[in-house]
Every structure is written in structure tokens, then in C-alpha cells.
């Protein structure tokens, strides 16, 4: 159930505070440049039962200012900084007004999502270097890392303030790969928007495609057959499997157990080849389509049982190895209170004692809900390893259940009413956590506005917090235990 409320800017903080106090979380903030006003949409969600509440605030285009909600919600403060950098909207009384997305080569006063932005301007240094907080004191020095790294990963700059090997503060500077995804969606047909959604974060093709399709289907009134809903849930678990298996191996590799990593990557390769037989693509692209699904083949129970036994053996060997277990235990602790305040999602939250899971809070299919959500409370690397391992078991069970109610071939919508809402929201538990996508359609059915939010947007601020008082050599291990998306964070 999604309800929409128009509120004025002055009453926004009070309405938002009431929703947060009632247990809702801020899942998304989208800015719209309407003909007569700048409209900001705040999406608050909770569940079960599945509840979605939107607050719409209209601002004067000549002076777009809105009261900041940063004192109520840490994610709200980050959404506001993003909104300012991309749209030029001023969050009044924001406690951290420094830029978030903007880089020094963007000219002052140029906002790429503003309707009058025009073509990208020439690079310059109009705004100067990023204002990093400087830590001072006896023996304190800085270690800069990146943004270019010695590996096949995307760019990010990490600045460590340390004494000896102990990290006093880490500042992560991201947004080096801004692609203009939101702008690229505008004006496309629904069908042409799907390949873009699949590529928001390449390792989450199913999650983002599904959130996009759910939003489009709500906007158009399309009715998705149950078989297609089950197929989508199955694909979501297959995507969770190959990513979690890869992470288990790479975490072992980061503490020197390369053989276990080799075996984990061997299993991942088996899963990627299985993915190709299921949808025709190793990353499962093409399996989720607007209104339905398209599967070529279903995994057999024997295949999944063999893969599950292989993974259990890897986990058993990892946890039984004293070096692996000792290095994981107590490293980079993210406490429950910090995870809650930051607004963490997915396995990062569940390893710190929180239970967010959109499969339960916002189900989209009659099947596909896990019977148990793995939760650990220690918040360290070991907990993030264990949550992944236990989620693999849950995914294997769900795949077995779902494969009995899925048909291969193209399954399309049973009905598409001509009349219906022109806006929609999709909420999906991707392998990293909850993905939210909001869509607005123009009168001709083209995409007017698409706002996707990857869970990495919420989880990146947790990495520096977990690294406080951790030693510098444990940074790669900690970073991998969160495994956050650069591309999903920077649209």
C-alpha cells in the first residue's frame, strides 16, 4: 500500500519525525522539476505489513530551499547533499553542507540534473579540492590510497589518519564514476530503460532490473502472473548465491588462505555457467522483463545440492582454520547502535543485529520469503562472513522451493489496464540489501523520471566507522567484508 501526502516545506520536519518515530525508514528522496515548481518526493517505508508513504513538497523554482532533515535521519542528510549537488536545492541548516557528489572540475553553480543545465561544461577547478577533515596531534600522519587502485576495481579515494598502524579516522571520497544514470533514463521507453537498470551495478542486474520493473508495473497497472513472480524470486536468489560465494572466497584470500578462495571461485564459475543456461547471460540479464520473466532453463535439484555441499565444505574449512577464524573475529566491529543510526541495510545490517529484509517487509511474490533471516550481533568481519554463509543456505532452500512453481519461456502480463497511476515504486532485497526505485511516466508512456537507490548508498558511511581503532593492514579485509558498490553508489 502506497499513500501520497502533499505537505508544505514548513511542516515537513514534523511529519518526517512522526514517521521515523513510528518505525518507518527513509528509503529514497527524488527531485522533480515540474512546470510550475520543484517537487521533492520523500519515500518512507516499513513492514510487514508492506507500507509506503510519500511526502511531496513543492518549492519555488526561483528559490528552491527546504528544511534539512539531517538532524532526524543520517540518510536524509546524505540525500540532501546529493540533491544540492545535482539539482541546486538548498537544505536549510544542514549540519554538513559540504559537497558530496560534486568534484572540483564541476563549475560553480552548474547542476547537471537541472533542466537548464545544458551540455556538460569544460573541466575546471572552480570549487577547489575536497575539504577533508585534518586530524592533528603527536605522531599522527596521513596515508592516501586511490582513487586509482592496483586491481580491477572502480576508483575511490581513502584517506587514513593514523598513529603507528592504528586508524584514528578514515574518510572515503567516492563519486569518481558519475555516469548520469538518472538523466539517461529520461525520455526512454520502458523497454529501453530495462538494459540501463540492469547495468546500474553490474553484479546486481536482477535486483535493479526487478526494482525497476516493479515500479513500472505499479505505474502502468500491469498484472504479473504468479509463475513470473516466482521466476523473478528464483533469479534473485541465484544472484545472491554467486555473489556471496565469491565474497566468502575473497575474504579467505585476504587473510592468506588462497586455496579456499580458488575453490570458492571455482564454485562461482559453476554458478555463472548455470546462470547462462537459465537466462542466456552469466549475470542473469534478460531474465526479468516488464510484466513478466523469460527463463530458458531451470536449475536441477541435483545441481543445487552438489553446489550446496561444495559451499558447506569451504565454509567448514574456513571456520576450522585458526588463522582465518582469528583474523575475522573482533575485526572492524560495527555496533548495532551505529548500524541503526547510519541506516545500514542487507548483510552489513544483519551482521550488526538488525533485521531489514525486503523479501519479508515488501514481498512481491506469494513464494520466495525466507523462513529465517540470519542475524548476528557481533558486527565484526566474522559476523559478516557468517551471515553470507547462512544466507547461502536460505537461498538454496528457496531455489528448491521456487523451481517447482516456475515455467520456462516468456511469461508476460495477464492484463494491462489502460487507466492507472503514473507513478510506481519497486522495493527488492538485492544481495547487498534493499534496492528502491521510483518511476514517473509521461503522458505518452515514456520515462519522465527514474530514481534508483542502491543499498551501498546507505552502507558506505559504515565502513569508516567500523575501521575506527582498526589497524591499517586490516583495511582490505574490512573493505571486502562490506563489499560496497562504487557504481551503485555513484549514478
Q: Comparing 15-29, 111-125, 305-319, which segment has the lowest mean pLDDT?
A: 111-125
The reported pLDDT for the residue numbered 419 is 60
Helix (H) or strand (E) run with residue 69 in it? none
Mean pLDDT over the full length of the chain: 93
Residues 108 and 194 in one domain: no
Residues 334 and 210 in one domain: yes
* CATH code (residue 229): 1.10.645.10
* CATH code (residue 95): 3.30.460.80
Q: Is the pLDDT of residue 418 over 60?
A: no
The reported pLDDT for the residue numbered 374 is 96
Domain edge (last residue) among 71, 102, 131: 131
Mean pLDDT of 112-130: 79
Does residue 299 fall inside a structural domain?
yes
At 238-289, the pLDDT tens digits run: 999 999 999 999 999 999 999 999 999 999 999 999 999 999 999 999 999 9
Maximum alpha-carbon separation in the chain: 70
Q: Is the pLDDT of residue 125 over 80?
A: no
Mean pLDDT of 15-19: 98
Helix (H) or strand (E) run with residue 396 in it? helix 381-402
All residues at 6 or more sequence positions from 437 whose CB lies less than 8 Å from its CB, including other chains: 197, 208, 211, 212, 214, 215, 425, 426, 450, 451, 452, 453
Residues 119 and 223 in one domain: no
Cis omega (within 30 of 0) on the bond before 191? Answer: no
Residues 265 and 390 in one domain: yes
Is there a contact between 427 and 343 (Cβ–Cβ < 8 Å)? no
At 328-338, the pLDDT tens digits run: 999 999 999 99
Does residue 21 fall inside a structural domain?
yes
Is there a contact between 178 and 491 (Cβ–Cβ < 8 Å)? yes
Of 2, 54, 6, 7, residue with least CA distance to 26: 54
Does residue 146 fall inside a structural domain?
no
Residues 72 and 205 in one domain: no
The reported pLDDT for the residue numbered 67 is 97
Residues 51 and 190 in one domain: no
When divided into structural domains, the chain yields a total of 2
Residues 126 and 202 in one domain: no
Does residue 20 fall inside a structural domain?
yes
Does residue 327 fall inside a structural domain?
yes
**Spatial distance between the Cα atoms of 49 and 82, rounded to a whole number of angstroms:** 30
Q: How confident is the model at residue 109 (pLDDT cuts 50, 70, 90)?
A: confident
Strand spans (E) along 204-313: 288-289, 292-295
Does residue 209 fall inside a structural domain?
yes
The reported pLDDT for the residue numbered 384 is 98
Domain boundaries, position 217: 181-460+485-489
Residues 74 and 187 in one domain: no
Q: Which residues pair with 167 in a beta bridge?
A: 162
The reported pLDDT for the residue numbered 152 is 74
The reported pLDDT for the residue numbered 135 is 82
Q: What radius of gyration, in Å, describes the C-alpha atoms of the chain?
A: 22
Does residue 176 fall inside a structural domain?
no
Q: How confident is the model at residue 148 (pLDDT cuts 50, 70, 90)?
A: confident
Amino acid at each position: 500500500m502506497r499513500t501520497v501526502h502533499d505537505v508544505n516545506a514548513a511542516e515537513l520536519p514534523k511529519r518526517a519525525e512522526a514517521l521515523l518515530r513510528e518505525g518507518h525508514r527513509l528509503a529514497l528522496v527524488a527531485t522533480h522539476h515540474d512546470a510550475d515548481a520543484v517537487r521533492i518526493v520523500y519515500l518512507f517505508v516499513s513492514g510487514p505489513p508492506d507500507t509506503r508513504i510519500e511526502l511531496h513538497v513543492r518549492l519555488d523554482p526561483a528559490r528552491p530551499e527546504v528544511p534539512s532533515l539531517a538532524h532526524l535521519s543520517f540518510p536524509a542528510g546524505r540525500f540532501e547533499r546529493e540533491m544540492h549537488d545535482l539539482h541546486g536545492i538548498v537544505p536549510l541548516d544542514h549540519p554538513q553542507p559540504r559537497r558530496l557528489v560534486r568534484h572540483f572540475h564541476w563549475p560553480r553553480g552548474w547542476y547537471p540534473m537541472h533542466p537548464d543545465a545544458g551540455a556538460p561544461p569544460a573541466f575546471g577547478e572552480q570549487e577547489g579540492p575536497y575539504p577533508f577533515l585534518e586530524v592533528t596531534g603527536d605522531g599522527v600522519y596521513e596515508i592516501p590510497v586511490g582513487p586509482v587502485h592496483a586491481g580491477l576495481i572502480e576508483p575511490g579515494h581513502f584517506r587514513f589518519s593514523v598513529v603507528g598502524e592504528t586508524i584514528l579516522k578514515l574518510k572515503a571520497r567516492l563519486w569518481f564514476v558519475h555516469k548520469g544514470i538518472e538523466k539517461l533514463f529520461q525520455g526512454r521507453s520502458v523497454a529501453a530503460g530495462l538494459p540501463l537498470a540492469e547495468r546500474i551495478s553490474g553484479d546486481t542486474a536482477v535486483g535493479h532490473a526487478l526494482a525497476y520493473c516493479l515500479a513500472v508495473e505499479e505505474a502502468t497497472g500491469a498484472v504479473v502472473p504468479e509463475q513470473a513472480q516466482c521466476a523473478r524470486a528464483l533469479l534473485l536468489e541465484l544472484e545472491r548465491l554467486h555473489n556471496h560465494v565469491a565474497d566468502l572466497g575473497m575474504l579467505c584470500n585476504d587473510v592468506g588462505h588462497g586455496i579456499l578462495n580458488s575453490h570458492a571461485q571455482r564454485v562461482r564459475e559453476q554458478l555463472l555457467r548455470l546462470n547462462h543456461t537459465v537466462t542466456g547471460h552469466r549475470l542473469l540479464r534478460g531474465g526479468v522483463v516488464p510484466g513478466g520473466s523469460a527463463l530458458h532453463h531451470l536449475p536441477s535439484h541435483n545441481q543445487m545440492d552438489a553446489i550446496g555441499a561444495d559451499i558447506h565444505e569451504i565454509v567448514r574449512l574456513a571456520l576450522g582454520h585458526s588463522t582465518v577464524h582469528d583474523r575475522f573475529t573482533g575485526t572492524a566491529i560495527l555496533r548495532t547502535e551505529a548500524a541503526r543510526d547510519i541506516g545500514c541495510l542487507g548483510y552489513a545490517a544483519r551482521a550488526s543485529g538488525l533485521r531489514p529484509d525486503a523479501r519479508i517487509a515488501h514481498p512481491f511474490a506469494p513464494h520466495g520469503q525466507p523462513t529465517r533471516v540470519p542475524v548476528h550481533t557481533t558486527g565484526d568481519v566474522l559476523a559478516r562472513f557468517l551471515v553470507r554463509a547462512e544466507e547461502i543456505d536460505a537461498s538454496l532452500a528457496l531455489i528448491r522451493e521456487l523451481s517447482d512453481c516456475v515455467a520456462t519461456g516468456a511469461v508476460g502480463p495477464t492484463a494491462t489496464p489502460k487507466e492507472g497511476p503514473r507513478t510506481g515504486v519497486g522495493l527488492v532485497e538485492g544481495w547487498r540489501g534493499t534496492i528502491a526505485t521510483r518511476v514517473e511516466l509521461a503522458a505518452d508512456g515514456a520515462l519522465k523520471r527514474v530514481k534508483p537507490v542502491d543499498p551501498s548508498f546507505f552502507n558506505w558511511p559504515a565502513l569508516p566507522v567500523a575501521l575506527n581503532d582498526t589497524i591499517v593492514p586490516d583495511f582490505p579485509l574490512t573493505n571486502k567484508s562490506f563489499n560496497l558498490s562504487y557504481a551503485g553508489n555513484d549514478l
